Structure 1
Amino acid sequence: MRVLGVDPGLTRLGIAVVDGGVGRAVRAVAVDVIRTPAEDDLSVRLLKVSDAVEGWFDQHRPEVVAIERVFSQHNVRTAMGTAQAAGVVALAAARRGLPVMFHTPSEVKAAVTGSGRADKAQVTIMVTRLLGLSAAPKPADAADALALAICHLWRAPMRDRMAEAEARAAELAKKHRARLAAAARESRTVIK
């Protein structure tokens, strides 16, 4: 499976493509940071993000997009810009019919380092090791984008199995309720 990982942001948006293989095998395909000048109008910045992401879709043909879920930040303006950038990426993916999954920062950290409280340096070290990179990806936004893709590759099979199990359980519960209702109807007709 090929995953496009996105660490959203207006000034710096980390973007990476990672291929998943058998088991937990992962391979970095590409990584970069999309930058937009703070002095540009918001609409222009969002258009630049959209155009760059579209280029990545054309060049790398991902099967799914994994985006970091925006969490509350102290700076509302920063949180808004981050959310807007994430929305632009999700919209571009939806236009192409690509599934979009959102992962929380702690979920990504736990998947890559084993601890949901890992710092950026720990995430970067583990991403570098897991992908067998000769140098750590910089800036941290690039490492975070790689971590998001890895997180999705490792968590998606589990999520799929959980969804299948929940669907089977719901179907069994539905059949059980139908049998109970039929038995109740039958007992009422026998009593009369």
Structure 2
Amino acid sequence: MDQNLKAKNLLLYVFLGIYVLTALGTLSMLFFGFGEVKDAERSTLINTFLVESAVAIAALFYSLWNIRNKEDRAIEHTRELIVNPLEESFKDLVIPVESLRLPTIQLHENKHFKRCKFIGPSAVAVMGGTYKNVGFLECGDIVALPNDVYLTGIIVLKNCTVEDSEFIRTTIFTDQHTAQGFKTIPGVRVKGIQS
């Protein structure tokens, strides 16, 4: 839950708390004889109570509507993030890695990604290709796999071109040759390179 929503909820609860206390005070003065209420003041107290109640009900409905609206926007935003994994070229996209899943083998070969953000948590196997100006945020170590490894259940980028892109919270597995190239990127740690 973001800070803005927390602040709005806190204000709503404070408002409702003040309303309840004010309403109880008004009702106790009107019907239970607390305080001295003159007949001339009685109609003013009743009108004040009705206005307070209307405002409290409106605030409650607004809050519920706002929460529902936020949920609808979140669902719509998620729909916008879904990409068609059969495309050959991807540009200026935020790509949840899991949306790259294909019906059969998870192989993306000779595809082009430009200014994309690959979002995990997930794992990707990178087998060859061209990677220019690529960043790795919260990805941990890149793992170089032994030669002749057969992978299943993982998305594979084979001989793809990835430019000006970022991998975020994504575990990267790679072949030995590609691992040598990744090793030259400042700040990237590669484990498992064989001599």
* Fold in common (TM above 0.5): no
Instruction: State TM-score, norm by structure 1.
Output: 0.25
Which of 1 and 2 has greater Rg?
2
| Higher normalized contact order (CA 8 Å, seq sep 6+, divided by chain length) | 1
**Structure with greater strand share of residues:** 2
Bigger proportion of residues as helix:
1
